[in-house]
Structure 1
Amino acid sequence: MISVKEALSIITAHVTPAGVESVPLLEAMDRVPAEDVRAAEPSPRFTNSAMDGFAVRWETAAWEGSEVKFLLTGESRAGDPFEGVVKPGEAVRISTGAVLPKGTDAVIPIEDAKESGHEIRVGRSVRKFQHVRFKGEEFKAGEIILKRGDVITPAAIGLLASQGITSVAVFRRPSVSIVGTGTELMPLKAPDLKPGQIRDSNSLMLCAAVTRSGAQVVYRKSVGDELDDVERILQQAAGAGQIILFSGGVSVGPHDLVRQAAEACGFETLFWKVRQKPGKPLFFAKKQNKLLFGLPGNPVSSLSCYAYYVHPVLRKMMGAEFEWQIVKAKLSREMKNPGDRAIFVRVAVRRNSPKDSIADPLTKQGSHRLTSMVQADGFILLEPGERLSKGCNVDVYLYPWRA
C-alpha cells in the first residue's frame, strides 16, 4: 500500500497530452490552445472615439472661463467615417467607435456641449486626446493575444473573432471508457429490481464527471462477475478510449476481477491500494498509451478518487494547467485522525463574507452515502495522526463541479 502523495506522483509521471486538432471557433469554448495565438491586426484597428459627442481640434477648445463655439460640418458614424479634414473652429458629430476624423485630437462628450442648429458651444476646458482610443493601444499586430495552455472563454472567443480567426489549434479532448462491474448492476430503466440488485448509477455519475472535466465518454458498459467477460469488456474499452475507468471490482473479494483481467490483457500494474479513506482499493495500470483507473465500487469512494486523481489527469491531457481551487476557512468543530490512512473529509462551506468562511465537516461520512457528496462543496485532507482544533484555519479543496 502506498501513500496519497506516492499515488499522485506515479500517476502524474504517466500523463501525456492527448494530441492536437484544429476546431472551428465556436467549438473551441473551454478548450485549450496548443500554441500561442498572435494578433493578425492591431486593436483598435483605427483611432476612434470612446464616447458619443463631437470631434474637435484640442487647441481651439482649451480655454477656461468662456464658451467656445464650433461649427458642425459633418458626422462620423461607426462604419461610415467622415472623409474630410476638420479645420480650427469646426466640429464633427461622432459616435462611439467611429473613426476619429483627420484634423481632430479630442472628443467632447455630447452632454458637455450645447447644440443649436449647426453650432455647438462648450463651456469647459478640453484635454488633448480626451476620449480618444488610439490605433494599436490594446495590442499591436503580431503580439500574443492568447497563450498556449490558457482555457478558451467567451471573452477569448470574442477576441479571436475580432481578429478574423475562424479556427484554433487545440489539445484534443481525452477519450474515456467507463465500465461498471458487478452482477448486481441493472440498467437505469429496469422496471423491477430483485433483492440484491441495484441500478448502475456509478457509470452515469462518472459520465457526468468526465463531461464536466471537459473530456468525452466514448464507451460505457456494465459487466458481471465472470473473468472472461471482464477481460472481453476491458479489451473493448481499451480499444475505444485513452482512459479506462472501472467502477468496482478492485477490492479483495473473490469477485473483484479487474486487476486480474487487466494483467491478463497486458496491462502493467503500477499500484494497487492507497493509504486513504475513502478509496483504499484504488488500482492504476498502464498499457502503452492507455491508462486504467480501477475506482472503488462504493459511490463516494468512486467519485472521491475520480475528483482527486482522474480529473487532474484529464485536464493535463487537454493541455490545461491544473491547480486546485482552495477556500480558506475556519473549522467549525474539532477533527482528528488517529489511524494510518489519510482521510478526505467532506465539508460544506458557509461564506459569511468574502473573507470569512466556515468549513462544516459533514456528520455522515460513510463511503456509501452519496447524499454527502451532493451536500459537500469540497474536502479537507486530514493526514494520519493529524488533529485539527475547532476554529483553526484550514484549506478546503473544492470539488471540480463546485469550483
Structure 2
Amino acid sequence: MRLFKRRSEAIEVSVPVEPEPAATLPDPPGTDARGRRSVADERDYLLSLITPLPAFGMYLLDAWGTAVCEDIIADHNLPDDDLVVVAGFAVRADDLSGADEPGGAKLRLRDDDKVFKVGSAVPVHAGQPLPAGADAVIAESDAELNGTTLSVTRPVKSGDHVRWTGSEARAGVPIMRSGQRLDARSSALLALAGIDRVLARPRPRVVVLSVAADDPQRADVESPLLAAAIKADGAQVWRVGNANGTDRELQDLISDQLIRADIVVVSGELSESTQLCRVVASMGLMDLADVALEPGGRIGFAVVGEDEIPLVLLPDEPVASYIGYQFFVRPLIRKLMGAPVVTQATVNCLAGGELRGREGVVTVRLGAVREQQGEKVVVPLGNPEHPRLSDLVSADALVVLDEKGPTVSLGERVGCWLLDD
C-alpha cells in the first residue's frame, strides 16, 4: 500500500478557438427581379458607409465655399453705435417736415455735436457715430450752407443715411447657422464681428484615375471629365490619369495615392473578372452592384488600405461615368464636406420634345435648357440609346425620368438637374 500518491500529471486540454469572422461591408440593399438595386437605395447605402471629415478652425479665406460646423453668435450688436452713412448734416427729421414748401427749411449749425434743440444741425462725415438727438442725415449735395445757416428744400425721414445699432446683427443672435456655406458676403459680416476663423470641414481630397488595361492606347476621357466635375463641387483634386500595367503595378499605384486621399474615384471596366475589380477586391472590401439607372447602371464601392479609404468605381464610358458621378459620387463628396443637402435640386422644365422612360429604371437624358416666354424649356439631345460625348458637352441639364417609366409629351413638365460645372 502506497503511503503517498504520485502527483498527477498535468493534462493539457485543447480548446478550439473560433476564427474571427472575416470583415465585410454592411449588408447591401435588396434588388429587383433583375438583380438591380434602386437608385435611391444605392445612394443611401453608399452614404451610410462614409462619415463627414473632422472639423477644425480655419481662416475665413481658407474656409470659403465650405459649410461652417457651428452656430456663430454675435457677442455684441453690429454696429454697436448708430452710424452716419454719408457726409452731410445730422438733423431731426421732424424739423424738416415742411422743407418741400416754398422757402424750404432753415436750420442753425451747431458746434457742440448735439442736435437736441429744435431747428439745429451738426456737420458729420461717413462712419462716425450719429450725434445725440439726431435721427437722420442730409447729404451735403441736398443742402446749402451759408455761414451757420443751413437751407434744405426737401424733407427727410427718420433713419435716412443712418445705420442703426444692431441693424447688421443683434447680440446673442446667430450670424451664421451650422451647415451654412461660407461665401464672400458672409465672410464680410464675420469680419465686421471681429471673427477671422470658423470651425469648418476641409475640402475633401479626391484622387481620380482611369484604368484601361485592355487598351492602353485609348484616350483617357473619363479622368479629366470627372476631375473637373469634382473640382467644380469644391474638392481638392489630383488626377493620376490613365493607369495600365500588371496587377501589382496597379495595386502599387492605388496604394501610393491613399496617403493624400479622403476618397478615390476610378473609372474602368466593371466586371468581377477585370483587372481593376480584381485588384481593388484584393486590397480591401468591395461591393459591385447593378443599379436601375440608364446610362451608368453599374457602380462599385470599396474601402482599401490601413486607413480604410473609400474608393468608388465608375464605368469607363464618359456619359455613363458622368451620370454615375452626379447620382452617387457627388453626394459622397458633399457628405464629406458636411453639407446639409447632398442631393441635386430638381427644377421643373417644360419638355421641348417627347421623352420616354422605362418602367423600373431611372432614365437619364441629356438636355439643353432654353428660356421661352418666362418658362424654362428643356430640349432633349442625342440618341437616348447611345449618348455621345458631344451631346454631353452641349447639355446643361440632366432630364431625370423616374422608375414609373413615364412618357413625357411635348409641353409637359419634367424634372431636370441643372449642370453648372
Amino acid at match of 1:179: L
TM-score norm. by structure 2 comes to: 0.81
What is the CA–CA distance in structure 1 between the aligned matches of 2:402 and 2:160, rounded to whole Å? Answer: 59
1:130-151 CA-partner distances (Å, limit 9, x unpaired): 4432211332233210111111
Q: Does 1:369 align with 2:404?
A: no
1:65-103 CA-partner distances (Å, limit 9, x unpaired): 5643222235xxxxxxxx733452331122343321123
Residues 84 and 163, structure 2, Cα contact 8 Å, conserved in 1: yes
Amino acid at match of 1:346: L
Alignment counterpart, residue 343 of structure 1, candidates 343, 359, 363: 363
Q: Does 1:38 align with 2:73?
A: yes
CA 1:150 to 1:185, structure 2 compared with 1: closer, same or farther past 3 Å?
A: farther
Q: Does 1:85 align with 2:114?
A: yes
Residues 181 and 225, structure 1, Cα contact 8 Å, conserved in 2: no
What is the CA–CA distance in structure 2 between the aligned matches of 1:304 and 1:157, rounded to whole Å? Answer: 34
Residues 2 and 274, structure 1, Cα contact 8 Å, conserved in 2: yes
What is the CA–CA distance in structure 1 between the aligned matches of 2:377 and 2:96, rounded to whole Å? Answer: 58
CA 1:349 to 1:125, structure 2 compared with 1: closer, same or farther past 3 Å?
A: closer
SS in 2 for 1:155: helix
CA 1:148 to 1:72, structure 2 compared with 1: closer, same or farther past 3 Å?
A: same
What is the CA–CA distance in structure 2 between the aligned matches of 1:240 and 1:114, rounded to whole Å? Answer: 67
**Equivalent residue, structure 1, for 2:246:** 226
State the 1:184 CA deviation.
Answer: 6.1
Aligned-CA RMSD value: 2.6
What is the CA–CA distance in structure 1 between the aligned matches of 2:215 and 2:120, rounded to whole Å? Answer: 82
**Equivalent residue, structure 2, for 1:258:** 276
**Equivalent residue, structure 1, for 2:298:** 281
Q: Does 1:291 align with 2:321?
A: no
Amino acid at match of 1:227: D
State the 1:331 CA deviation.
Answer: 0.8
**Equivalent residue, structure 2, for 1:301:** 320
Unpaired segments ≥5 residues, structure 1: 75-82, 187-196
**Equivalent residue, structure 1, for 2:260:** 240
State the 1:367 CA deviation.
Answer: 5.5
Amino acid at match of 2:166: G
Larger C-alpha radius of gyration, 1 or 2? 2
State the 1:114 CA deviation.
Answer: 3.2
Q: Does 1:55 align with 2:90?
A: yes
Unpaired segments ≥5 residues, structure 2: 1-35
Alignment counterpart, residue 110 of structure 2, candidates 59, 65, 73: 73
CA 1:62 to 1:386, structure 2 compared with 1: closer, same or farther past 3 Å?
A: closer
What is the CA–CA distance in structure 1 between the aligned matches of 2:158 and 2:225, rounded to whole Å? Answer: 61
Q: Does 1:329 align with 2:358?
A: no
Residues 213 and 275, structure 2, Cα contact 8 Å, conserved in 1: no
CA 1:213 to 1:59, structure 2 compared with 1: closer, same or farther past 3 Å?
A: closer
What is the CA–CA distance in structure 2 between the aligned matches of 1:341 and 1:58, rounded to whole Å? Answer: 67
What is the CA–CA distance in structure 1 between the aligned matches of 2:386 and 2:189, rounded to whole Å? Answer: 45
SS in 1 for 2:207: strand
What is the CA–CA distance in structure 2 between the aligned matches of 1:291 and 1:327, rounded to whole Å? Answer: 31
Residues 251 and 281, structure 1, Cα contact 8 Å, conserved in 2: no
Residues 86 and 126, structure 2, Cα contact 8 Å, conserved in 1: yes
CA 1:3 to 1:156, structure 2 compared with 1: closer, same or farther past 3 Å?
A: same
Q: Does 1:143 align with 2:173?
A: yes
**Equivalent residue, structure 2, for 1:190:** none
Residues 65 and 234, structure 2, Cα contact 8 Å, conserved in 1: yes
Residues 286 and 302, structure 2, Cα contact 8 Å, conserved in 1: yes
1:115-144 CA-partner distances (Å, limit 9, x unpaired): 323311234555444443221133223321
State the 1:183 CA deviation.
Answer: 3.5
Residues 243 and 292, structure 1, Cα contact 8 Å, conserved in 2: yes
SS in 2 for 1:345: strand
Report how many aligned residue pairs link the two structures: 379
What is the CA–CA distance in structure 2 between the aligned matches of 1:222 and 1:128, rounded to whole Å? Answer: 67
What is the CA–CA distance in structure 1 between the aligned matches of 2:382 and 2:221, rounded to whole Å? Answer: 24
What is the CA–CA distance in structure 2 between the aligned matches of 1:128 and 1:51, rounded to whole Å? Answer: 15
SS in 1 for 2:266: strand
TM-score norm. by structure 1 comes to: 0.85
SS in 2 for 1:397: strand
SS in 1 for 2:172: coil
State the 1:263 CA deviation.
Answer: 2.1
Alignment counterpart, residue 19 of structure 1, candidates 41, 54, 57: 54
Amino acid at match of 1:166: D
SS in 2 for 1:198: coil
